Amino acid sequence: MAVRMRQVRGVWHNELFWQAALILYVLFVYGHSMVPAELSSRESGAVLQIIAKIWDGLHLPGQMPTEHMVRKTAHFLEYMGMGILLCRNVQVMARQRRIPLRLVIAAAIWLPFVDETIQLFVRGRSGQISDVWLDLAGMWTGLGLMCLLGRARSHGNRRRLR
């Protein structure tokens, strides 16, 4: 199997690297969905303790975040990362061939639904439609950020060429 990549720029344009990164990331996220509720709650509680120490250390006003807020923020950030990796895969693959937009949209919608479906089969967990929406928001935020970054880079390159 030949790997298409530009030797000059290294891993940034290596299709196989970005595909592997996306697959491993999806497996990581889905792996978290397979963790039973009590273990997942302990994980969130540990993160909340770290946040509490930082919150107190900075003497921040207002109510400290709750475990619920930590969990929902994690959902959003996980999928924002996935959106970034999905977009980077499309960018790298599009250099060699045309990628149908409907395939990208299908992946961006399908991945969160599978994640919540996995949770239906895990002790103490449940699939939540609100989490699907949150995951979708994170995914589309990641995709959008990458599009904006690509546009800014493209605009910067045009300025240098003048």
Domain ranges of the chain: 23-156
| Angstrom distance (rounded) from CA 39 to CA 122 | 11
The pLDDT, as a whole number, for residue 100 is 84
The pLDDT, as a whole number, for residue 57 is 87
Global pTM?
A: 0.81
Res. 9 pLDDT band, cuts 50 70 90: low
Q: Are 3 and 11 in contact (CB under 8 A)?
A: no
**Minimum mean pLDDT range among 60-64, 77-81, 145-149:** 60-64
The pLDDT, as a whole number, for residue 138 is 98
Could you tell me where the DSSP H helices lie in the chain? 15-33, 37-57, 67-93, 101-119, 129-161
The pLDDT, as a whole number, for residue 83 is 97
The pLDDT, as a whole number, for residue 2 is 45
